[in-house]
């Protein structure tokens, strides 16, 4: 992580962004953080948006608190519960229709 005072940031935004790599740059004003420059390479816009959405973060925190307090089920168990039930039967496959 690198920090820089906003008044000392004389390069272009593009220059700073191209030098980020996987690092984080904090912009300070009078020693206090005011902004962050973060690489979002290999991320989509929805992921970035959700990761900074206070409502979504609150929902995740509530879910985690509930899990800690009450327990839960594993992802493997959830996949098992949601898997289609065939009851030992093979799924019906419609016969191919050939030319008449």
For 39-68, letters b (16+ CB in 10 Å) and e give eeeeeeeeeeeeeeeeeeeeeeeeeeeeee
pLDDT tens digits for range 31-89: 999 999 988 888 898 988 998 899 999 999 999 999 889 888 888 888 888 988 766 66
Query: Does the domain made of 1-39 have the CATH classification 3.30.160?
Result: no
pLDDT score of 29: 96
User: Would the pTM of this model clear 0.95, i.e. be above it?
Assistant: no
pLDDT score of 67: 87
């Amino acid at each position: 992580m690198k920090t820089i005072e906003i008044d000392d940031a004389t390069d272009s935004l593009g220059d700073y962004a191209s030098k980020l790599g996987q690092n984080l740059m904090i912009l300070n004003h009078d020693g206090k953080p005011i902004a962050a420059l973060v690489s979002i390479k290999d991320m989509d816009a929805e992921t970035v948006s959700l990761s900074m959405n206070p409502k979504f973060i609150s929902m995740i925190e509530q879910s985690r608190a509930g899990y800690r307090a009450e327990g839960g089920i594993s992802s493997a168990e959830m996949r098992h519960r949601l898997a289609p039930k065939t009851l030992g039967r093979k799924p019906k496959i419609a016969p191919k229709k050939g030319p008449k």
